[in-house]
Amino acid sequence: MSDQNPNPESMPEPIARPVGGTEYSWCKAVPVGTGITVLAFLLTKPPNIPLLQNALHNLQNSHPILRSKHHFDPATNTHSFLTPPTPHLQIQPFDLPSTASILQTHSAVSPFHQIFEHELNLNTWRDPDPLSAGTDVLFASTYTLSESQWALVLRLHTSACDRAAAAALLKELLRSVGGGGTERELKGNGEVISALEDLIPNGKANKPFWARGVDMLGYSLNSFRLSNIEFEDVSLPRTTQMVKLRLNPEHTDQLLAGCKSRGIKLCGVLAAAGLIAAHASKHLPDHQWEKYAVVTLLDCRSLLDPPLSANDFGFYHSAIMNSHDINGENTLWELAKRCYTAFADAKNSNKHFSDMSDLNFLMCKAIENPGLTPSSSMRTAFVSVFEDLVIDDSSEVHQELGLEDYEGCASVHGVGPSIAIFDAIRDGGLNCACVYPSPLHSREQMQGLMDHMKSVLVDGCTVDSESEISSSA
């Protein structure tokens, strides 16, 4: 059945909702290249376009923000979500010749990896047309990689879909397609859920004016003392690239057991391994100290009033920034404990709420004034990690669809960290997609960093296992 209404004048008006403060920072960040979220699926069976489109329309029905348009009004300098009453997404198919024109013949990475990076750098939101009704927050494409492989790719504006929502979207889409893509009713009254700032419990975001000024000054001054890994090219236009970090199930179990025994989360260990690898990459004397910034992103849904779930799509993450002084003598578990404790103490002090507007303001200032950052790189931290893991396992639906692999993360080549780690446990093994701005950093440089991180993690698992054996002997 067609989605077109024969009488356009009878179509209900789209529902408008102004963006919140955090959403506004993403509306500023995405046009310069940070915050393009991509979910990509590698398939060994030809995609059923009508079935997929029906499933995506069902998702747009269930989650109004996915059928919304991002609208900018230059007259009032305001951003908003305009949500039409019905889904309108159309999947864009690329046949074999069209896909081949995108792929690089002699690339060091697979065709699927190339398509994933290609989509991370398709910025539909760079130059919005103020006279239009807005730009969709969700796009879908299929690519023919070969006669036996295809890719389905979803590209989203991050203000409409954070990592928790992306993980829920992935599962819901696979379940919907596997179940035949049955129709669903529109959710609620068709409005986009309130912005994060409007759902913070009373008092949690309060901060005296003088304290806010002191913290803003502290963040600003501290940024000039932060170290970065070496920049390789600060002049050429930037894109986002990705490298991988994987651990087998055995090492993953040992790593998670080490976290549990110390009362910390994996985010602290990943940050610590990254800091150790960054310091080592500079070949400095072991005794020489450097200060690096770590941004930890946390899902605030369960902390809001009223509480939300991952099935409430939108952007409901907040960030906590900590800086750490390290040298070449730091060990993984000691530094991991320090990283996680600093984050946990800040969270217990409600800094994820009270500092939210400060960090959003500084993020926008870095976009407007790149010269305030080292080499005008717009780097605000060395690394970003997520507080909580995404856990996913293969299922019969994966086999039914011919799902061989999938990736999900967001671009970072505008403003942000040198490396953003999107971690997940897949079939028992740690699987990290690590994105970075190129050519500010090169693929060889970042793969070397990931390889060093992996060796630090594996060595930490080995030391932990040996200590456990010794203590039980």
In a domain, 269, yes or no: yes
pLDDT at 89: 95
pLDDT value at residue 234: 95
| C-alpha angle 100-104-108 in degrees, rounded to nearest 5 | 135
CATH number of the domain encompassing residue 108: 3.30.559.10
Report the pLDDT value the prediction gives residue 471, as an integer from 0 to 100.
53
How confident is the model at residue 175, as a pLDDT? Answer: 87
Supply the DSSP string of 68-111, one letter for each residue: -EEEEETTTTEEEEEE-SS-----EEE-HHHHHTTS-TT-SS-H
Q: What is the pLDDT of residue 55?
A: 94
User: Is 6 contained in some domain?
Assistant: no
Q: List Cβ<8 Å contacts ≥24 apart for 363-367.
A: 363/25, 363/28, 363/29, 363/415, 364/24, 364/25, 364/28, 366/415, 367/28, 367/29, 367/32, 367/414, 367/415
* Structure tokens, 195: 């912005």
The residue among 245 and 395 whose pLDDT is bigger is: 245
pLDDT digits (tens, 9 = 90+) for 431-443: 999 999 999 999 9
5 in a structural domain: no
The per-residue pLDDT for 217 is 67
Q: Which residues contact 11 (CB under 8 A, 6 or more apart)?
A: 5, 85
Query: With bands split at pLDDT 50, 70 and 90, how would you rate the model's confidence at 94?
Result: very high
Residue type, 270: L
pLDDT band at 3 (very low <50, low <70, confident <90, very high): very low
Residue 163 shares a structural domain with residue 111: yes
What pLDDT shows up at residue 251? 96
H/E/C letters for each residue in 421-473? EEEEEECCEEEEEEEEEECCCCHHHHHHHHHHHHHHHHHHHHHHHHHHHHHHC
For residues 18 and 76, the answer to whether their CB atoms sit within 8 Å is no
Residue 449 and residue 418 share a domain: yes
**Distance between terminal CA atoms of the chain?**
71
Same domain, 257 and 332: yes
Residue 468 pLDDT greater than 60, yes or no: no
With a cut of 70, say whether residue 467 has pLDDT above it.
Answer: no
Residue with tokens 């999900």: 408
Arithmetic mean of pLDDT, 97-109: 91
Burial class (CB in 10 A: 0-12, 13-18, 19+), 286: exposed
pLDDT at 367 over 80: yes
Q: Is the pLDDT of residue 250 over 80?
A: yes
Instruction: Name which of 175-184, 281-290, 311-320, 407-416 the model is least confident about.
Output: 175-184
pLDDT given at position 133: 78
Residue 406 falls within a domain, yes or no? yes
The encoded tokens of residue 79 equal: 């951003």
Which residue matches tokens 């490298």? 243
Whether residue 213 is found in the same domain as residue 177: no
Boundary-marking domain end, from 162, 195, 228: 195
Q: How confident is the model at residue 128 (pLDDT cuts 50, 70, 90)?
A: confident
Can you give the pLDDT at residue 14? 85
Predicted pLDDT at 74: 86
Mean pLDDT of the chain: 90
154 and 207 share a domain? Answer: no
Average the pLDDT over 17-31 and give the result. 96
> Are 54 and 182 within 8 A, CB to CB?
no
